[in-house]
Chain A
Amino acid sequence: MSNGDLPQAQPGDSAPNANESETPHTEHSPSRPEPVLGGFTAAPEIVTETRAIPMGAAIAISAGAWLIPGLGHLILGRWTRSLLFALCVFSLFFLGLGMEGKLYGWAFDRTPTAQSIPLQALEFFGDAGVGLPYFVATRMGAGEGNLANRSYDYGEKFLWVAGLLNYLIMLDAFDVALGRKP
Chain B
Amino acid sequence: MTLSHFSALFIFSVAVSTVFALVTKNTPREQFRYGVRILIYFLGAAIILGWIMRPFPL
A residues neighboring B (CB under 8 Å): 43, 46, 81, 84-85, 88-89, 91-92, 95, 98-100, 149-151, 154, 157-158, 161, 165, 168-169, 172, 181-182
Q: How distant is the Cα of A88 from the Cα of B19 in the complex, in angstroms?
A: 7
**Interfacial chain B residues near A95, Cβ < 8 Å:** 1, 3, 11
Q: Contacting A161 at CB < 8 Å: which of B12, B22, B23, B26?
A: B12
Interface size class of B (residues with CB under 8 A): 10 to 19
A-B pairs with lowest CB-CB distance, top 4: A98-B1, A88-B15, A154-B8, A172-B23
Q: Is the CB of B19 within 8 A of A85?
A: yes
Q: How distant is the Cα of A121 from the Cα of B39 in the complex, in angstroms?
A: 30
**Residue of B whose beta carbon sits closest to that of A158:** B12
Q: Is the CB of B11 within 8 A of A91?
A: yes
A-B contact count (CB 8 A): 60
What DSSP secondary structure best describes chain B's contact surface?
helix
Shortest Cβ distance from A179 into chain B, in angstroms?
13
Q: A91-B11, A158-B12 are in contact. Are A151 and B1 (CB under 8 A)?
A: yes
Shortest Cβ distance from B48 into chain A, in angstroms?
20
9 more A-B residue pairs beyond the given contacts A85-B19, A99-B1, with a C-beta to C-beta distance below 8 A? A92-B15, A98-B1, A99-B2, A100-B1, A149-B2, A154-B3, A157-B12, A158-B12, A172-B23
Q: Is the CB of B22 within 8 A of A165?
A: no
